[in-house]
Amino acid sequence: MEKGTTLLLGLPGVAVSRVERRDDGTRVVHLVTAGEYAGLCPRCGVVSTSHKEAVVTGPRDIPYGTDGLKLVWHKHRWRCRNIDCPLQTFTESIPQVPPRRRTTGRLRSAVAHAVACNRSVAEVAAENGVGWSTVQACVDEHTDQVLTEPAPTPVLGIDETRRGKPQWRLDPLTHRWVRVDRWDTGFVDLHGEQGLLGQAEGRTSATVTGWLALRSQTFREAIRYVVIDPAASYRAAITPDLLPNAQLVVDHFHLVRLANDTVTTVRRRVTWELRNRRGRKVDPEWANRRRLLTGRERLRPKAFAAMWNELLTHDPTGQILAAWIAKEELRTLLASARQQAAPHVIRARLHDFYAWCAGTDIPEVHKLAGTIDAWWPQTLLFLHTGLTNARTEGINRVVKSVGRRACGFRNPHNHRRRVRLVCTRRHRRASAIDRHAPC
């Protein structure tokens, strides 16, 4: 019977001597140290025969059953008789419960993995019947093991994420409310399985150069492509001095977003000019606002015809459709990456886009063409390589979710560590292995 309960508990190094149920319903498991650890000095490994006293401890373990188990470990304090050993006396310990620990290794591992799977520390602490600080200490320990210096990667993605909610502060000089957002810049491995490599506070050139400067020469030399949003500050940060072998690629989703923003800006301006008010449900351009932002190939023929005809009739300036066509010309150009188009096809599509933009007299469309022109080398490299920041955007969702789960962080350093822990693929692989490993 005793052998069976020991097997059921599955905690190596201790044996179950008996199990009792107390009046309040708690199930108490009484443990004794198993033979191989009885009297074993944890420092020098010599087995002592000089018994000092009996000690009872109650280590916390992972919950078992609906109401959990209470462990009572009857162990002994011994005198270490090895003259070379600095320990005078010691109590028995096992690998799962090292000296001065009051939790089992499997509990520490379970709570750390639960938090690393993006659950809040408070929630995991309550579920396992331990304190918040105990769980946080387990998470810190696990994070130190898992988060190591990032390994070199040939493709680095850089993107910004807002930390927390937008904040408004009263400017003492102008007495106006100004929006102050806190930004982090994320660095992502777009080639391997490392996920988020790190985050740095801010979104300026100095943020990027500061983070990269902390990496090894090997890491920096290994980078061949850096995928960024069309942000001048990020472009300025990537210099041959810092990353000698890197070429910049602009993320095409951000270019499409610029084109969509252009269409929306033109639509709003035209509504103001035509009706002297903002758009309403009855306005055809407002009713079609989502169709205007949907890719041409994703619009059903009926929806496309409705949008086209209504705007043709109700926008005498024709500016909204002109902006829409500019957006679609840009999308056609960017689709060359997916289609692996030949260089002459890319040149022809670029010409079509520029020619269309130049043929209109819409300032917003001219600005869009100017942006593409300013970013053409990086866009062309996207068309050749097909590299995108899509993975970075996926990680950004996790970053926001971590902040929400924790109900906000007071300490940005802890926030960034937790985000990286949750985003790191190595952690997820380790968790999967742990789940399948026997105790």
Q: Which stretch binds Zn ion (CB under 5 A): 75-83, 105-113, 217-225, 281-289?
A: 75-83
Nearer to Zn ion, 44 or 374 (CB): 44
Nearer to Zn ion, 84 or 241 (CB): 84
Q: Which stretch binds Zn ion (CB under 5 A): 13-21, 81-89, 212-220, 275-283?
A: 81-89
**Binding to Zn ion, residues 159-188 (CB under 5 A):** none
Greatest CA separation found in the chain?
100
Contact between 75 and 32 under an 8 Å Cβ cutoff? The reply is yes
Residue identified by tokens 């902390």 is 214
CB of 33 to Zn ion, least distance (A): 16
- The secondary structure of the chain, three-state, reads CHHHHHHHHCCCCEEEEEEEECCCCCEEEEEEECHHHCCECCCCCCECCEEEEEEEECCECCCCCCCCEEEEEEEEEEECCCCCCCCCEEECCECCECCCCCECHHHHHHHHHHHHCCCCHHHHHHHHCCCHHHHHHHHHHHHHHHCCCCCCCCEEEEEEEEEEEEEEEECCCCCCEEEEEEEEEEEEECCCCCCEEEEEECCCHHHHHHHHHCCCHHHHHHCCEEEECCCHHHHHHCCCCCCCCCEEEECHHHHHHHHHHHHHHHHHHHHHHHHCCCCCCCCHHHHCHHHHHCCHHHCCHHHHHHHHHHHHHHCCCCHHHHHHHHHHHHHHHHCHHHHCCCHHHHHHHHHHHHHHHHHCCCHHHHHHHHHHHHCHHHHHHHHHHCCCCHHHHHHHHHHHHHHHHCCCCCCHHHHHHHHHHHHCHHHHHHHHHHHHCCC
CB of 123 to Zn ion, least distance (A): 41
Q: Which of residues 9, 32, 41, 208 is near Zn ion by CB under 5 A? A: 41
Q: Which stretch binds Zn ion (CB under 5 A): 36-44, 132-140, 167-175, 181-189?
A: 36-44
CB of 34 to Zn ion, least distance (A): 19
CB of 86 to Zn ion, least distance (A): 8
Q: Does 5 bind Zn ion (CB under 5 A)?
A: no
Q: Which of residues 32, 80, 200, 258 is near Zn ion by CB under 5 A? A: 80
Q: Which stretch binds Zn ion (CB under 5 A): 26-34, 86-94, 115-123, 244-252?
A: 86-94
Q: Does 43 bind Zn ion (CB under 5 A)?
A: yes
Q: Which stretch binds Zn ion (CB under 5 A): 38-46, 130-138, 264-272, 395-403?
A: 38-46
Q: Which of residues 34, 38, 47, 85 is near Zn ion by CB under 5 A? A: 85
**Binding to Zn ion, residues 87-146 (CB under 5 A):** 87
Q: Does 397 bind Zn ion (CB under 5 A)?
A: no
CB of 32 to Zn ion, least distance (A): 21
* Spatial CA neighbour of 255 closest among 162, 376, 363: 376
Q: Which stretch binds Zn ion (CB under 5 A): 73-81, 133-141, 250-258, 395-403?
A: 73-81
* Site size with Zn ion, rule: CB under 5 A: 7
Q: Which of residues 28, 34, 44, 72 is near Zn ion by CB under 5 A? A: 44
Nearer to Zn ion, 45 or 166 (CB): 45
CB of 94 to Zn ion, least distance (A): 16
Q: Does 82 bind Zn ion (CB under 5 A)?
A: yes
Nearer to Zn ion, 87 or 151 (CB): 87
CB of 87 to Zn ion, least distance (A): 5
Residues of this chain that interact with Zn ion (CB under 5 A) are 41, 43-44, 80, 82, 85, 87
